[in-house]
Structure 1
Amino acid sequence: MPSEIDIHEKLPWHALSAQEALARLATSPDGLDEEEAERRLKRFGPNRLRPPARRGPVVRFLAQFRNLLILVLLAAALITALLGHWLDTGVILAVVLINAVIGMLQEGRAERSLEAIRELLTPTAYVRRDGHLGHLPADRLVPGDIVQLQAGDRVPADLRLIEANELAIDESPLTGESLPVRKQAAPVPEDAPLAERASMAWSGTLVTGGQAIGVVVATGERTELGRISEMVRNVETLTTPLIRRMDAFGRWLTGAILLLALATFAFGTLARSYAWDAMFMAAVSLAVAAIPEGLPAIMTITLALGVQRMARRQAIIRRLPAVETLGAMTVVCTDKTGTLTRNEMTARMLVTAEGPFDVEGVGYDPHGAVLHDGRPVDPGTRPLLLELGRALVLCNDSRLVEGPEGWTVAGDPTEGALLVLAVKLGTDPERLRREYPRLDALPFDSRRAFMATLHHDHAGHAWVFVKGAPERILHRCTHQRRDGRDEALDAGFWERQTEELARDGLRLLAVAMKAMPRGTTELEEDSLDGNFVMLGLVGM
């Protein structure tokens, strides 16, 4: 059984070799046996985040009275009741109760939404124990378990990768990086920042491509996701500018009213010789009349309207006074991916040898026109656009999914954007996959800077499609497609188009194809060095 230091959250697992990590955790590629796994589960606890502490409705309701102006109003309600002014008492109490109920309900809705982070933990994991693979509830994972990952899986715990095959992981919930990160089994420097620890897979992130095997090094609160949850739970509550001003106003008003009431009482009894009991009642009446009982009601209603407007824009306001704070901000420091942006790629422009085309539409919704010289075109009348769309579908591992909240992509965001473009170009992805089954593929990697797939039709013809960095694809092209025929490649044209699109801030991919001999069933990188036909550039 490993010592305490072996599972300590600060141990640099990313800098250890896979073999050393296994040794430190007293495990092997065959996994733990069930008896040892049960011992570790009792020692380290379930692999789940501790639910955030929630205040009950009574506590939330009483918390609304921690305001000097509200306390003054309650005192005024008591005094008016003692004086027999029941109408005034009812009005003041109604204002106070409305304020408290609205605040309590809003905080309850906001606190429920904050529990969403716990949903990032996958419910099951594919685990090897006693040498056998099987599904296991994710909350039963322990340090030393061997977990297998594949595209579409959510990483169930912090893992040190021991094998990785073209693994790509979407880490945007953790690091804000919009593009999937390529992973490896080789260790990285100990001082590497979190986003560059390529030998680690973090709990709650999503596998977008490839396969891997990893050993669990941290579960539950010890994971990086657990640290985020802890920071959110322990965030310091600050007083908003509005509350500070209202507290200051309440103190000033209370002092002024008491001073005025005391002065009135003193003047009547000492200067005018009125009866002290009559002057006392007059001073109390004056104090009650001076309290602005309508102010909390106006403030609460105004803030509640602001909360509702923000809610319609999918923004959660936990406490009513925070709405005013938004208007007082002068500097906003924010994450970009998924906050200012939607973590979605969109193809905005494509260029073929027949000219440039603009693409309308946003996100992964596959509806949008294709424009040439500002006018919509029918892709069905342009064979080159259909050829380009076919290549974008076949040289692609992503899938479009329509759900209750709209269109999403299962897979890499960049490939998702290309798939959406292919649909806008008039293709049917499922039909194309049936008509041109894939025989082999070379996944994208940073060394090649392109992806290639081999397909055949049912008559035995074979083609290879490639997409990748423009300079790598153009280097392999000898021809370009125009008006249904192939012509010599105009390298200068494509270089100029690449420069112009890059100046516009677009991310570029080039797409090409070539026919392969009948009977070709495997892709060899040496066979991809030339004789490709350039189909087009895509700018995202």
Structure 2
Amino acid sequence: MEFHSRIEDLIQQFGADPSAGLSPDRSAELLAEHGPNELAATRRESPWLILLHQFMSPVIYLLLIAMGMSLFFREWLDAIAIAVVILLNALIGFIMEFQAEKAMDALRQMTTQSARVLRGGQITEIPSTEIVPGDMLLLDAGDMVQADGRIITSTSLQADESALTGESLPVEKSPAELPEDTPLAERTNMVYKGTFIRNGNAHVLCTATGMKTELGQIAHMVAGAQKSATPLEKKLESFSKRLIGITVVIVVLIFGAGVLNQVPILEMLKTSIALAVAAIPEGLPVVATLSLARGMISMARQNVIVKKLSAVETLGATTVICTDKTGTLTENRMQVTEAWLPGADWKQGAEPPAGEVFRLLRETAVLCNNATLNGDQHIGDPIEVSLLQFAGETGAEEGPIRAGFQKMDEAPFNSDTRVMATLHQNNGRFRVSAKGATEDLLEYCTAILKNGQPQPLTGADKKEWMDATEKLAASGLKTLGYASREESARPGEMLQELVFLGITGFMDPPRAGVKNVIRECHGAGIRVLMLTGDHPATAATIAKQLDIVEEGQKPVVTGRELEKDAGAWEGAAVFARVSPKQKLDLVKGLQDQHQIVAMTGDGVNDAPALKKADIGIAMGIRGTQVSQEVADMVLKDDAFESIVMAVRQGRVIFTNIRRFIIFLLSCNLSELLVIGLVATFNIPFQLVAIQILFINLITDVFPAMALGFTEGDETVMQKNPRDPRKPILSRNGWTWIWVYAAVIGGSALGAAFTAEYFREGETDRHAANNVLFYTLILSQLFHALSMKEPREKFLGGPVMRNKYLIGSIFLSAGITFGCLFIPPVAEALRLQMMPAIDWWLTLGFSAASLLVVRLLSGIFMRK
């Protein structure tokens, strides 16, 4: 049955006794039947599991196969080099993700809660885990609600349900029955686990505990929301499969060519294995991991905790950001933005209007108020806190006003009158100050203050002020009316013959800087969708102020509309009164359209969608523990602007990953082409296996790693997101890889043939081999400078400004030439000193390869 319907039926169903509560024996039976009142524990990844995940990658699988083949053929140096690469990659990834887990530990707040219940006719304090359905809970202001319950009796009860529903204001609660189809956010006779009592007290019948609470249902959805593989993981998997196919085909062709040229089969098999190892870019996982780790460290310095390395790149691929409103786009505090008075109006930022009515309204706002301001410490109801701030900002300080009036009595707000009133004494006179819902407050008013004098309140006046209230509410503001009365003698009844003073409008204001961030997202081709549990008018107003709704998009779509039509979300940017399940369904719907979805949130109600999204972003200050646990990233300072910083970082990282993949493959394929041509045409100056491995290590590690540290430029956030369905390398990308490989390989072979030609027919295999070896290395090092955008100037752009890349080229070249002067190394690599002409040929052909590549890319890529 629905717990917000008839209370008599509930009491009978649970066998409850509102006056005495459960007996100790009965509560023990129910505890055994229903279990402890706690949510299923969140599983934490152990360090060993984090380490194991570092080896679960298609490229790592490929390297493990290559290492196994090297061991089988006793190519020990190859096997050791690959093993070092794999272990280095795993170590870097483990350290970064383990540090992120430690940072998350600092955010987790582990507290033990207790609860007051009525048992055996006595008020008893018990651990919250021992609450059972049928218990009578006693709640006061400041308490966290420990279980779902139906209100039996209450006094001035208000609950903060923002973590559960997204509603930014405390909700007024009462025992009144409600229709069975009342949505969660409007069930004012229920309280829910995980929410807070802001004001008043209540006697509550516990209806659900543990995983059967509304909070528990959300925990179920969190557990059932399956995390999709990240775009980078999908792309690398596809890339690895294609690379395996290309490598197998090339190696088989080269093996066949060698056999046809009567090269011994065993020797050709070893060469083929060495070529297969050379073709695999073993530097890829290390460079990708280092690039992601650098982005992770950069974000950590800007108060963003990234829990998974892959999440850094995923945010760069984001096409849609689904964001909560309360506390994410707004400041999660109320603020008086307008005051409408008889004969005058005031808007935030304007000069206070002169006259008696505005003075009286401000004094009423301060006197009919139980909140206090103490520096940055604000104690009390958010509405009352904002009234004190409003009075202070307009020249009426709280301290002097309260010092001049002695409080004598108070009629607290309740669900029947919906009005609060206080009685104060000042210089022998008594003043009644009242505030409340305009339609109810007007019932107690007989006059209205006009031109400084009370005048009779007519029916037309009442209609005028009700219309004004509805107009403010339609613009998304919460409204309150104000009235007062002054007497020479103490009045017997406060709520009578009041003088109406006017109304004010309140709003949870947008966070500073968010509007510019949203504009930047739109400029980067990223849609921003706002999902909130708030009133549709409030959502529409905030969306308008922040420019969330773009031209051609629908107005606000409500949760009820989504219930009637599951496709109502198409083309909309603002969603109000949405449930946790509807948020989850929206994320699924977007992902079905191949969108990369980032979801931001801070409440428990956001948790299922945070987990399901491609990238979940939780708030670190206001965020609940549940939201932080399931998110991929946590914003420690709750700054929405950090998201755009992370998007930019992710885009730069993906561009760098694509850069060094193209660089690695074009370099490795150039080696395959050289060896393939040498084997096919039986050319005498072929490279030996150890030379192939040395070239691979020199060019695959330092320059590729440095490419991963290239900074972005000002155009990064001026482009649309890349299509998530496209592979990491397009057909055009593969074409250019072959072009680059052909230019590099052709330059190396050209230098070797020219060196042999200058010897006037003398055949010196070692000399030609050395020219081929050095030209291939230099051409590949120079090729790193070609990893630029087509429209960048030759000596400009991020690549040319990358000091790490320039340093890595000099370092790699220095190591290569230094090997000549270490006899054991030179002997192992078959190197010998070359004459000056050979060095000039090596340098000339290497430089020519760079110029040809830049010329070709400049001509064709620009088109």
Q: TM-score range by the shorter chain?
A: 0.7 to 0.9
Is contact 2:115-2:126 (8 Å) kept? yes
User: Which residue of 1 is the match for residue 501 of structure 2?
Assistant: 534
Pairing of 1:50-89 with structure 2 (within 5 A): 50-76=40-66, 79=70, 82-84=75-77, 88-89=81-82
Contact 1:98 1:297 in 2 (8 A): no
Q: Which moved more, 1:230-239 or 1:512-521?
A: 512-521
Q: Is the 8 A contact 1:64 1:104 kept in 2?
A: no
Provide the residue aligned with 2:387 in structure 1. Answer: 418
* Partner residue, 1:345: 334
SS of 2:434 mapped into structure 1: strand
Counterpart position of 1:457:
425
Deviation at 1:246, TM superposition (A): 0.8
Q: 1:508 to 1:161 in 2, by over 3 A?
A: closer
More displaced 10-residue stretch of structure 1: 217-226 or 287-296: 287-296
How far 1:89 sits from its partner (Å)?
Answer: 4.4
Contact 2:406–2:424 under 8 Å retained in 1: yes
SS at match of 1:279: helix
CA drift of 1:56 comes to 0.6
1:169/1:182 contact within 8 Å kept: yes
Corresponding residue pairs, total: 497
Question: Which deviates more from structure 2 when the two are superposed, residues 54-63 or residues 158-167?
Answer: 158-167
Residue pairs, 1:349-368, within 5 angstroms:
349-351=338-340, 355-359=344-348
Once residues 494 and 161 of structure 1 are traced to their aligned partners in structure 2, the CA distance between those partners, rounded to angstroms, is: 34
- Report the counterpart of residue 97 of structure 1 in structure 2: 90
1:389 is aligned to 362
Contact 1:95/1:294 (8 A) holds in 2: no
Displacement of 1:59 in angstroms is 0.9
Name 2:491's counterpart in structure 1: 520
Q: Counterpart of 1:205?
A: 195
Distance 1:196 1:488, change over 3 A: closer
Q: Out of 419-428 and 75-84, give the one that drifted further.
A: 75-84
Q: For 1:96 and 1:109, how far apart are their aligned partners in 2?
A: 20
**Of 425, 444, 447, which aligns to 1:478?**
447
Kindly tell me: are residues 317 and 454 of structure 1, through their superposed partners in 2, closer, same or farther at Cα, counting changes over 3 Å?
same
Residue 284 in 1 paired to residue 250 in 2?
Answer: no
- Structure 1 position 45, deviation (Å): 2.5
Q: CA 1:306–1:431 in 2, change beyond 3 Å: closer, same or farther?
A: farther
Do the aligned residues in 2 keep the contact of 1:47 with 1:220 (CA within 8 Å)?
Answer: yes
Q: Note the 1:204-353 alignment, pairs <5 A.
A: 204-268=194-258, 270-307=259-296, 317-351=306-340
How far apart are the structure 2 equivalents of 1:135 and 1:505? 42
**SS of the counterpart of 2:335?**
coil
1:317-369 Cα offsets, whole Å, 9 max, x none, are 4433234333434444454334443432222234556855443xxxxxxxxxx
Where structure 1 has 5 or more consecutive residues not aligned to the other structure, the ranges are: 1-10, 360-369
Counterpart CA distance in 1 for 2:205 and 2:319 is 46
1:444-501 CA distances to partner (integer Å, 9 max, x unpaired)?
54x65x523122236442212222345665673634377xx54759969979986886
SS of residue paired to 2:61? helix
Give 1:513's aligned amino acid: S
Provide the rounded CA distance (Å) in 2 between the counterparts of 1:233 and 1:312.
Answer: 31
- Equivalent AA in structure 1 for residue 424 of structure 2: H
Distance 1:495 1:489 in 2: 17
**In 2, Cα distance between the equivalents of 1:438 and 1:307?**
59
Cα distance, 1:385 vs structure 2: 5.8
What is the CA distance between 1:389 and its match in structure 2?
A: 3.4
**Any idea what SS the aligned residue of 1:127 has?**
strand
Task: Looking at secondary structure, tell me which structure has more helix per residue.
Answer: 2
Task: Spell out the pairing of 1:439-450 with structure 2 (5 A cutoff).
Answer: 439-443=409-413, 445=415, 448=417
* 1:51/1:115 contact within 8 Å kept: no
| Greater strand share, structure number | 1
C-alpha change, 1:288 and 1:114, in structure 2 (3 Å) is: farther
Aligned to 1:467: 435
Q: CA deviation at 1:166?
A: 3.2
* Distance in structure 1 (CA, Å) of the matches to 2:474 and 2:133: 48
1:91-113 residue CA offsets vs partner (Å, 9 max, x unmatched): 62464124432553266358758
AA in 2 matched with 1:461: R
Q: Does the CA-based 8 Å contact 1:149-1:207 persist in structure 2?
A: yes
Residues of 1 paired with 2:294 and 2:453: CA distance?
63
Partner deviation per Cα, 1:428-456 (whole Å, 9 max, x = no partner): 546655643250214154x65x5231222
CA RMSD, 1 decimal: 3.8
**% identical aligned pairs:** 33
Q: Structure 2 vs 1, CA of residues 470 and 201 (structure 1 numbering), >3 Å: closer, same or farther?
A: closer
Q: What is the deviation of 1:74?
A: 4.0
Matched, 1:171 2:135: no
Query: CA–CA distance in 2 between the matches of 1:16 and 1:500?
Result: 35
Q: Distance in 1 between matches of 2:50 and 2:319?
A: 30
Look up the match of 2:407. Answer: 437
Shift of 1:245: 0.8
Residues 13 and 21 in structure 1, CA contact (< 8 A), matched pair in contact too:
yes
Distance 1:388 1:173, change over 3 A: same
Query: Equivalents in 1 of 2:92, 2:252: separation in Å?
Result: 30
Deviations 1:167-193 (A, max 9, x none): 222222212222333323233233333
Moved more, 226-235 or 426-435: 426-435
What SS class does the counterpart of residue 321 from structure 1 fall into? helix
Q: Distance in 2 between matches of 1:495 and 1:15?
A: 31
Q: How far apart are the structure 1 equivalents of 2:234 and 2:250? A: 24
Counterpart residue type for residue 326 of structure 2: T
Aligned to 1:8: none
Q: SS at the partner of 1:185? A: coil
State the TM-score, normalizing by the size of structure 2: 0.51
Distance in 2 (CA, whole Å) between partners of 1:20 and 1:55 is: 45
Letter in 2 for 1:170: D
Deviates most, 270-279 or 89-98: 89-98
1:299 match: secondary structure: helix
State the secondary structure of the residue aligned to 1:437: strand
Give the letter for the 1:257 counterpart: T
Residue 22 in structure 1 maps to residue 11 in structure 2: yes
Q: 1:45 aligns with which of 35, 53, 57?
A: 35
Distance 1:148 1:231, change over 3 A: same
The alpha carbon displacement at 1:132 in A equals 1.8
Q: Which amino acid aligns with 1:440?
A: E
Normalised to the residue count of structure 1, the TM-score between the two structures is 0.78
Distance, in Å, in 2 between the alignment partners of 1:392 and 1:349 is 14
Question: Alpha carbons of 1:293 and 1:429: their partners in 2 closer, same or farther (altered >3 Å)?
Answer: farther
Structure 1 478/185 Cα, relative in aligned 2: closer, same or farther at 3 Å? closer
- Relative to structure 1, is the Cα distance of residues 45 and 430 closer, same or farther in structure 2, using a 3 angstrom cutoff? farther
Higher alpha-carbon deviation: 453-462 or 146-155: 453-462
Q: Could you tell me how far 1:248 is from its partner in structure 2? A: 0.4
Whole-angstrom distance in 2 between the partners of 1:166 and 1:262: 82
Listed as ranges, the matches of 1:393-408 within 5 Å are 393-400=366-373
* Deviation readout 1:259-280 (Å, 9 max, x if unpaired): 3233322322x12222233323
The separation in 2 between residues aligned to 1:103 and 1:72, in whole angstroms, is: 23
**Contact 1:126/1:135 (<8 A) preserved:** yes
Q: Say if 1:106 and 1:320, in contact at 8 Å, map to a contact too.
A: no
